[in-house]
């Protein structure tokens, strides 16, 4: 018979010892390394982004255009129907033979901003080609000049025809002087001994002057060219009122002419310059006091002067006709 001691242990054998181990630190499991992959992708993307910014800042505009043209090449090629290797291959803009890109069916007149003076319905075409003769800026400038000269010629013929056909303007044939100057086509409303354009000593235009200016506006408002308007006087000193002389009078007459043109539909955005020149640029240089020196001069400015195309070098149409 066994007996229990004071500690509650049985005599005759050792009681088993149980050890309980407690883990500390919470119940979060191991998530693996997926976040490391996502972080690496993010760092790579940021590195590529900053590298792109650096390249954009380090390259010139010409280099950027070259890269762009490399991935989207466009060139003007001459088809077998063409007669020569010029800009339009020896053809007029309405003839066939210069093929057009299917993605950019633009005529030469649309590219240059110059309207077709002959009103032809068949546009010149440009063909995408990996090879073929490139055109130079000088060639484009020459073709633009030819087209613009035709446009000027048509405008001149329309104005002269309007003077001949309209009874109220027929007597003003000597007052309308049209000629070519280095800046473009010049249209002048000139005083004659018996027919003046403005009330004497003022900037108020006479009725026939208003009618003539409106007819000029009808012709030139269809053209893309900007204009310069200048007023001129003779050399006789103007003493109508204090602090008002030929300079003020010529400038006011030029501005009055500008108002008539724009009211008749000529775009105000195409008015580049309005100025008074007093007697500094006489029409009749041998007689500074001649009535013909009193005039309004309207010049249709050549686009080539306002947007020079620069030195000759092989280029693509996209570069030549960029905005």
Radius of gyration of the chain (CA): 40
E strand intervals along 85-175: 135-136
Going by C-beta distance under 8 Å and a sequence separation of 6 or more, which residues neighbour residue 148?
A: 114, 225, 302, 303, 304
Looking at the DSSP assignment, which residues form a beta bridge with residue 125?
A: 99
184-190: strand order across its sheet: 176-181, 184-190, 295-301, 227-232, 271-276
* Model confidence, pTM: 0.55
Rounded distance, CA 112 to CA 231, Å?
Answer: 31
Count Cα neighbours of 132 within 13 Å in the Cβ-side half-sphere: 23
SS (H, E, C) 198-220: ECCCCCCECHHHHHHHHHHHHHH
Choose among 196, 156, 291, 281: nearest CA to 230. Answer: 281
The whole-number pLDDT of residue 133 equals 59
Rounded distance, CA 297 to CA 286, Å?
Answer: 19
CB atoms within 10 A of CB 147: 21
Q: Residue with structure tokens 């009211």?
A: 263
The tens place of each residue's pLDDT in the chain, 323 residues long, gives: 444 444 445 555 677 787 776 665 555 555 567 888 888 889 999 999 888 888 888 888 777 777 777 776 554 444 444 444 444 444 444 444 444 443 334 444 444 454 555 555 444 444 444 445 567 777 777 777 788 888 888 888 988 888 888 877 888 888 999 999 999 999 999 999 889 999 988 999 999 999 999 999 999 998 889 999 999 999 998 776 788 999 999 999 999 999 999 999 999 999 999 999 999 999 999 999 999 999 999 999 987 666 544 443 444 444 444 44
- Enumerate the CATH 3.30.1330.60 domain ranges in the chain, comma separated: 146-306
Q: CATH assignment of 146-306?
A: 3.30.1330.60
The whole-number pLDDT of residue 116 equals 53
Q: 8-26 as b/e, with b when 16 or more CB fall inside 10 Å?
A: eeeeeeeeeeeeeeeeeee
The whole-number pLDDT of residue 138 equals 76
The whole-number pLDDT of residue 22 equals 64
Angle between helices 207-220 and 246-263 (to 10 degrees): 60
């Amino acid at each position: 018979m066994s007996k229990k001691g004071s500690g509650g242990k049985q005599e005759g054998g050792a009681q088993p010892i149980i050890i309980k181990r407690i883990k500390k630190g919470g119940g979060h499991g191991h998530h693996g390394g997926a976040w490391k992959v996502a972080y690496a992708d993010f760092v790579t993307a940021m590195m590529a982004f900053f590298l792109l910014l650096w390249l954009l800042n380090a390259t010139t505009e010409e280099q950027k255009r070259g890269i762009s043209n490399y991935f989207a090449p466009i060139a003007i090629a001459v088809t077998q129907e063409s007669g020569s290797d010029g800009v339009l291959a020896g053809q007029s803009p309405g003839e066939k033979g210069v093929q057009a890109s299917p993605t950019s069916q633009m005529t030469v007149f649309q590219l240059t901003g110059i309207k077709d003076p002959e009103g032809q319905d068949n546009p010149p075409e440009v063909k995408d080609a990996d090879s073929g003769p490139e055109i130079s800026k000088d060639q484009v400038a020459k073709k633009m000049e030819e087209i613009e000269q035709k446009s000027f010629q048509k405008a001149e013929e329309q104005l002269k025809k309007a003077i001949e056909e309209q009874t109220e303007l027929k007597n003003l044939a000597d007052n309308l002087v049209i000629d070519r100057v280095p800046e473009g086509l010049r249209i002048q409303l000139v005083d004659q001994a018996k027919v003046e354009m403005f009330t004497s000593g003022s900037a108020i235009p006479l009725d026939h002057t208003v009618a003539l200016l409106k007819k000029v506006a009808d012709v030139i408002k269809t053209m893309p060219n900007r204009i310069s308007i200048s007023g001129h006087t003779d050399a006789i000193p103007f003493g109508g009122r204090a602090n008002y002389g030929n300079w003020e009078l010529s400038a006011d007459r030029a501005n009055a002419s500008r108002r008539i043109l724009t009211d008749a539909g000529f775009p105000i955005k195409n008015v580049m310059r309005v100025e008074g020149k007093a007697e500094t640029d006489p029409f009749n240089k041998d007689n500074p006091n001649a009535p013909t020196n009193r005039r309004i001069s309207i010049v249709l400015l050549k686009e080539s002067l306002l947007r020079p195309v620069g030195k000759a070098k092989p280029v693509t149409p996209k570069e030549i006709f960029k905005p």
